[in-house]
Amino acid sequence: MSTITHADDPATFDLEVLQSTVPVVVDFWAAWCGPCRMVSPELEKLAEAHGGAVKVVKVDVDANGTIAQRYGIQGIPTLALFRDGQQVASSVGAKPRAAIEADLGLASA
């Protein structure tokens, strides 16, 4: 079973996302964001379904604004897929797991 990691500072983001050996789904979110809270259980399902093949990392845009700015995050929730340290796909808005996987190019498990 996969767990969801939090990267609320640039050093943790670099370690958990940019240096990851597996694809990483990054959830750019904020505690005050209603749609962000709606997408959270879908991300838990995604993490569970993909196990160790995909990592899920949450980035609080209020706590880690530098990272959100670096990737041009303008609306939340934004889910971004990173492979080999590069952002390769994204999905904006609260969606069910299947739609998130489709947007990010992840095959359903």
What's the CATH number where 64 sits?
Answer: 3.40.30.10
76 as an active site residue: the answer is: no
Q: Does residue 108 form part of some domain? A: no
d(CA 11, CA 8): 9
What tens digit of pLDDT does each residue of 81-94 get? 999 999 999 999 99
Q: Say which of 17, 36, 46, 57 is annotated catalytic.
A: 36
What tens digit of pLDDT does each residue of 31-64 get? 999 999 999 999 999 999 998 899 999 999 999 9
pLDDT attached to residue 52 = 85
Q: Does residue 16 form part of some domain? A: yes
Q: Look up the domain containing 36 and give its range.
A: 4-102
pTM confidence score: 0.93
Q: Does residue 23 form part of some domain? A: yes
Structure tokens at 39: 């997408």
78 as an active site residue: the answer is: no
Paired with 59 in beta bridges are 28
Domain count, the chain: 1
Structure tokens at 46: 């995604």
